[in-house]
Amino acid sequence: MVLWEFIVICGIVFILLELFVPSMFFLNFAFSAFITAIVSLFTAKLLTLVLVFFIFSFLSFAFLRPLLLKRKSKEIETGVNDKYIGRKAKVIEEVSGNNGVISIYDERWNARTEDGSVIPVGTEVEIIKNDSLIMYVK
């Protein structure tokens, strides 16, 4: 087996580890392994390859990992942000402490009241907070 093939296999193993432990940890090593495999096509000095691997591992931990974690956290967001808080909505199905539906910006949202009161259909309400995909109104 040629040296660059061994290093590519190591990179693939790091990617597989990242699939099972999604922490953006092993992905940095995979990135470094693939770069080291490219460098190994030009030199077979083990010390040089080890240094390249460690340098790119450090650089990817310092620069690439924060970018990937920032992107990952954006994917977790539900898309509901503070743009709805304080806005007026219309009740289209009676809202109580357990269930209900409101309409805002031609979008249909599940709604609840915090105090358990019942709000009839057609009433204009104010959104006071959201919990995932449920709007709390008063």
Query: How far apart (Å, rounded) are the C-alpha atoms in residues 84 and 133?
Result: 12
Query: CATH 2.40.50.140 spans which residues of the chain?
Result: 88-137
Q: What is the pLDDT of residue 11?
A: 93
> Is it the case that residue 74 has pLDDT exceeding 70?
no
Query: How far apart (Å, rounded) are the C-alpha atoms in residues 138 and 127?
Result: 7
- In eight-state DSSP terms, residue 110 is E
The predicted model gives 83-107 an average pLDDT of 88
Fold that domain 88-137 belongs to in CATH: OB fold (Dihydrolipoamide Acetyltransferase, E2P) (2.40.50)
Residues 73, 96: contact at Cβ < 8 Å? no
Range with lowest mean pLDDT among 27-31, 80-84, 114-118:
80-84
Q: What is the pLDDT of residue 75?
A: 43
Contacts of 105 (CB under 8 A, 6+ apart): none
pTM of the model: 0.50
Q: What is the mean pLDDT of the chain?
A: 85
> Is it the case that residue 135 has pLDDT exceeding 50?
yes
